A = this chain, B = another copy of it.
Amino acid sequence: MKLELTKKHRSYEGSTNYYSHSSESTGTKMNFSTFEPSAKIESAIIWLSGLTCNEDNFITKSGIQKLLSETNTMVICPDTSPRGLNLTGEHDSYDFGSGAGFYLNATTPEYKDHYKMYDYVSKEIVGILNNHFDINKISIMGHSMGGHGALVLALNEESKFTSVSAFSPIVNPTKCPWGQKAFNGYLINDEESFKYDATLLVKNNHKREDTILIDQGLSDDFLEKELLTDNFVQICKEKGQSVEVNYREGYDHSYFFISTFLESHVQHHLNFLNK
């Protein structure tokens, strides 16, 4: 696969880069950003962003480059959906279509040819890390819709990801409006949704050996209606899945919350990646 380096900014002892490439999964050009430390990279963390985001949000707002530079850790941030298309309804709302790929493989006629973000992340992004960057130890994390993506990918593809964490994840999308809208628009059969719901995956005996780390703000406007954190905690308890959920008093759904606790997530991943 040919990667085009579109922007390169020296930052700390490394560089923040932007790439573009043709994607087999989506049949479109796709963009991602990275932080690449200058020393030999041993491991990488995939960051999956939330609704309305693209490859730019995390890399400009997280403030994590310093720690990544100090620990020789790479981060890679894919866009959240294909771009440059004009499918029916694709650009009509913030929570469906462009900017809202939900990290699944669509099966509805309108979306099935392009909205393959599950394959894009699990095969192409992982393949780029393996082959282009020569990295085989990979963890995954994300925020909101991207937290959902991280959990679902890590529960389905346990061996591909060393550890998983999430900020404010949508843990039970079949039970919340965001998830229901997405699954109705992207998936033809209800059964397919089992593969893309972290709570249902644990219920159906998917299990990870590592502890799943979640941070959730208690002043998050989406907690009660969309995120449903407790549903996941409950099923993990029932099934013996190790999970650490930190409820954070006063913090909301923003990057200001993410930044505050991001170092602890990176350290969590490094504990597993450096084993």
A254, closest chain B residue (CB): B9
**Chain B residue at minimum C-beta to C-beta distance from A10:** B250
Which residues of A (55-70) have their CB < 8 Å from a CB of B?
60-66
Q: Is A199 an interface residue (CB 8 A)?
A: no
Q: Are A65 and B10 in contact (CB under 8 A)?
A: no
Say yes or no: A10 contacts B63, CB within 8 Å.
no
Once the chains are docked, how many angstroms separate the CA of A16 from the CA of B256?
A: 7
| Among A12, A65, A256, A259: residue with most chain B CB under 10 A | A256
Which A residues between 127 and 175 are near B, CB-CB below 8 angstroms?
A: none
Q: By the criterion CB–CB under 8 Å, are B10 and A251 in contact?
A: yes
How many copies of this chain does one complex carry? Answer: 2
Central interface residue in A9, A61, A251, by most chain B CB within 10 Å: A9
B11:A259 contact, CB within 8 angstroms: yes
In the complex, what's the smallest C-beta–C-beta distance from A4 to chain B, in angstroms? Answer: 19
> When the two chains form their complex, are residues B9 and A63 in contact, meaning their CB atoms are under 8 A apart?
no
Is A267 located at the chain interface by the 8 A CB criterion? Answer: no
Chain A interface: which size bin?
Answer: 20 to 34
A209–chain B nearest beta-carbon distance, Å: 32
Judged by a CB distance under 8 angstroms, whether A219 is at the interface is: yes
List 23 A-B residue pairs with CB atoms under 8 Å apart, sorted by A's residue number.
A9-B252, A9-B254, A9-B256, A9-B257, A10-B219, A10-B250, A10-B252, A10-B256, A11-B251, A11-B256, A11-B257, A11-B259, A11-B260, A12-B259, A60-B60, A60-B255, A61-B61, A63-B63, A63-B64, A63-B65, A63-B66, A63-B259, A65-B256
Chain A residues within 8 Å of B, Cβ to Cβ: 9-12, 16, 60-66, 217, 219, 250-252, 254-257, 259-260
- Knowing that A9-B254, A11-B259, A60-B61 are A-B contacts, what are 20 other residue pairs whose CB atoms are under 8 Å apart, sorted by A's residue number? A9-B251, A9-B252, A9-B256, A10-B219, A10-B251, A10-B252, A10-B256, A10-B260, A11-B251, A11-B256, A11-B257, A12-B259, A16-B256, A60-B255, A62-B63, A63-B63, A63-B66, A63-B259, A65-B256, A65-B260
